[in-house]
Amino acid sequence: MQIQDLPYPDPGVPDARSGPRFLWWLGRNQVGGQLKSLAWGLLHFLSVSTLPYCVGLAVEAVVDRSGARLAAAGALMALACAGNTIGSTALHRAAVTNWITAAARVQQLLARKAAELGSALTRRVAAGEVVAVSTGDVEKIGWFVEAMSRFTAAALTVVVVCVGLVVYQPALGVVVAVGLPVLALAVLPLLPRATRRADQQREKAGRATELASDTVAGLRVLRGIGGEELFLDRYRRASQEVRHAAVRSARMWSLIGAIQVLLPGLLLIVVVCYGVHLAREGRITVGQLVTVYSSVLILTYPLRHFEEIAMAYSFSRPSARRAARVLSLERATDSGGSLAGKAPTGDLYDPTTGLLAPAGRLTAVVCGDPDAAGRLAERLGGHPSEPGTSVLLGGVPLDDLPLAGARTAVLVQDKDPVLLSGTLRELLDVPASGDVDARDALSAAQCEDVLAALAQGSLDAEDPMDARITERGRSLSGGQRQRLALARSLVTDPEVLVLDEPTSAVDSHTEARIAQGLRELRDGRTTVVFTSSPLLLDRADRVVLVHDGEVVAVGLHRELVHAEPRYRAVVTRDTEDDAADSHSRADAALTDAALDDTDALEETDALEEIEETA
């Protein structure tokens, strides 16, 4: 796989049982690239290691005053330099390719897992951890996968040179062959402590990233209550903890690096002293001493890769463990999508709570616990919290459908939907049935003022559809973002649309018109709305009250508000102490809601008539 061939047509099925198994799986899927990097690495390291032998031959040729041998030594040195140049260039290219392709494979796997789990991902893994895995951890994993081939080439080079020195000059070669393994293994006792400190740094960095992500996401709210300084101080403290952990980790790695410099120097001193002694006795020539000395000096270069592979593994192991944890998450099902073909149609039924949403009807669900409502909405979208609790669509479990089929059949809009940056046209360019026009969806979601605001804020866009939306729609109000997200869901036109509090951030007049537009545009389609707003509840064909995880009442809004105290307590915010006059207040609430609804519609109709007359 080359960089220009990315992305992978299929990144494969990872072995996510543990971090080391995941790293091994990545390496096995890059055998071709690893072998290529190994071959170029051997050419590079062996060419560098040949230079001392060339120098030794040249010295001996000068001592013996042999011009032919000196020329041969020069030619051999030129050949070694050419091999070094070619090998170094090709090794770097192959190494970078392995790094990028490994990182790209991990990113594709994470993106596929995020698309598979949807909103359930951040419910099961902290958002900060997901960000850390998909950014910094991906690079560290790619680093280790790439470094493996270079380390293998360096290790083989050290073995070849040691064997060559023993054959070339046994007296000094044995000293080098014994000393080099000691140099390579001397830092092993320090690696566990260095790894622990690196793990602590990663954990603190992950918590700081999560805190920063949460702070940025809630910055508007924090400014509203004056709490931005409080959270800023928390992030400062978390950042300082990361800094202290990084310094402690760096100290350990600097100690390992110092040992990697000190021990080769000691070995070099031993070789020189012993070599001079042998040369005085006439047991070796000056050229042989120079060759062995230069070889030991050159071997410090491949030995550095022993330290690098230790660092790469220590840094990548926790990263691989986090990535494997995310990739091991599965939909709560054992079937794996046993049904294929067209998605089923019919009633939507949740066996856990007993909720039934008849096909082609607008069903409103009232739930006093917002968290329970979010979990129920997630389950309706095909993401049950436990196996065996799948929702049925037309009698078919959503877990038995392929993921694409389940997504086509049921769309869930969270209470806090995300708007991606880009133009409004790009925002509404989503997989859709084609039966709902974008303009109709915007009109049903009451986005006229949003279009006007976007057109006013964009000087170069003649059509509001070409106006740009900033990241997460931060330039818009909460109600405007909510209505644009609703329009996007309406454009999709799924068989079943589940909306979780779609009008919580808009005023009552706008909410009334959204309720009417939603009912008209979704006529004949199954729609489930989680809400406690009387304006939306009064428009529903069927209202369901869910209490303590089960359906306790079903009917129309006007019926339930009189007959069911628990329903009335949620909708009108009644308490136990208000039971004496709850019925009268319920009548008043219902009347006010109806009057607000009627007034809003009449006021808008009157304005439209005036505009048409003008």
Instruction: Give Cβ neighbours of residue 535 (< 8 Å, ≥ 6 apart).
Output: 503, 508, 511, 512, 515, 593, 596, 597
Q: Is the pLDDT of residue 38 over 50?
A: yes
Q: Closest Cα to residue 133, out of 110, 108, 164, 165?
A: 110
Q: Is the pLDDT of residue 577 over 60?
A: no
DSSP state at residue 425 = H
Instruction: Give Cβ neighbours of residue 521 (< 8 Å, ≥ 6 apart).
Output: 436, 440, 441, 444, 490
Query: Which range, of 247-261, 285-299, 581-595, averages the lowest pLDDT?
Result: 581-595
Question: Is the Cα torsion angle 470, 472, 475, 481 positive or negative in sign?
Answer: positive
Provide the pLDDT for residue 472: 67
Residues 534, 515, 366: CA angle, nearest 5 degrees: 40
Provide the pLDDT for residue 94: 93
Provide the pLDDT for residue 614: 34
Provide the pLDDT for residue 112: 87
User: DSSP readout, 582-596?
Assistant: HHHHHHHHHHHHHHH
Confidence of residue 220 (pLDDT cuts 50, 70, 90): low
Mean predicted confidence (pLDDT) in 40-51: 92
**pTM tops 0.85, yes or no:** no
Mean predicted confidence (pLDDT) in 15-42: 92
Instruction: Using the CB atoms, write b or e for 9-40: b if 16+ within 10 Å.
Output: eebeebbbeebeebbebbbebbeebbebbbbb
User: In the chain, pLDDT over 90 holds for what percent of residues?
Assistant: 29
Considering 268-272, 295-299, 536-540, the range whose residues carry the highest mean pLDDT is 536-540
Compare 571 and 463 and report the one with higher pLDDT.
571
* Phi and psi angles of residue 528, each rounded to the nearest 5 degrees, phi first: -120, 125
Domain 348-613 has CATH 3.40.50.300: yes
Mean predicted confidence (pLDDT) in 393-405: 79
**Domain 14-327 class, CATH top level:** mainly alpha
E strand or H helix at 555, and its extent?
Answer: strand 550-555
How crowded is residue 414: how many other Cβ atoms within 10 Å of its Cβ? 18
Provide the pLDDT for residue 603: 44
284: tokens are: 């070796």
Q: pLDDT, tens digit, for every residue of 430-459?
A: 888 888 999 999 999 999 888 888 877 776
| Mean pLDDT score across all residues of the chain | 82
Q: Closest Cα to residue 361, out of 501, 542, 516, 495?
A: 542
Label the pairing between strands 362-367 and 542-547.
parallel
CB 364 within 8 A of CB 357: no
> Collapsing DSSP states into helix, strand and coil, what is residue 543?
strand
How crowded is residue 521: how many other Cβ atoms within 10 Å of its Cβ? 19
579: tokens are: 């039971």
Q: Say whether 348-613 and 14-327 share the same fold.
A: no
Query: Which range, of 167-181, 268-282, 392-406, 529-543, averages the lowest pLDDT?
Result: 392-406
Instruction: Give Cβ neighbours of residue 469 (< 8 Å, ≥ 6 apart).
Output: 419, 420, 421, 422, 423, 424, 427, 454, 475, 476, 484
d(CA 521, CA 449): 20
Tell me the domain boundaries of the chain: 14-327, 348-613
169: tokens are: 């000059």
User: DSSP readout, 491-521?
Assistant: HH--SEEEEESTTTTS-HHHHHHHHHHHHHH
Q: pLDDT, tens digit, for every residue of 188-211?
A: 788 888 878 877 887 788 778 777
Q: Closest Cα to residue 485, out of 540, 446, 459, 512?
A: 446
Provide the pLDDT for residue 459: 65
Provide the pLDDT for residue 222: 58
User: DSSP readout, 258-308?
Assistant: HHHHHHHHHHHHHHHHHHHHHHHHTSS-HHHHHHHHHHHHHHHHHHHHHHH
Provide the pLDDT for residue 613: 39
Could you tell me where the beta strands, DSSP code E, fall in 394-490? 396-397, 410-413, 422-423, 468-469
Provide the pLDDT for residue 120: 66
- Helices and strands in the chain: count of H runs, count of E runs: 22, 12
d(CA 611, CA 606): 9
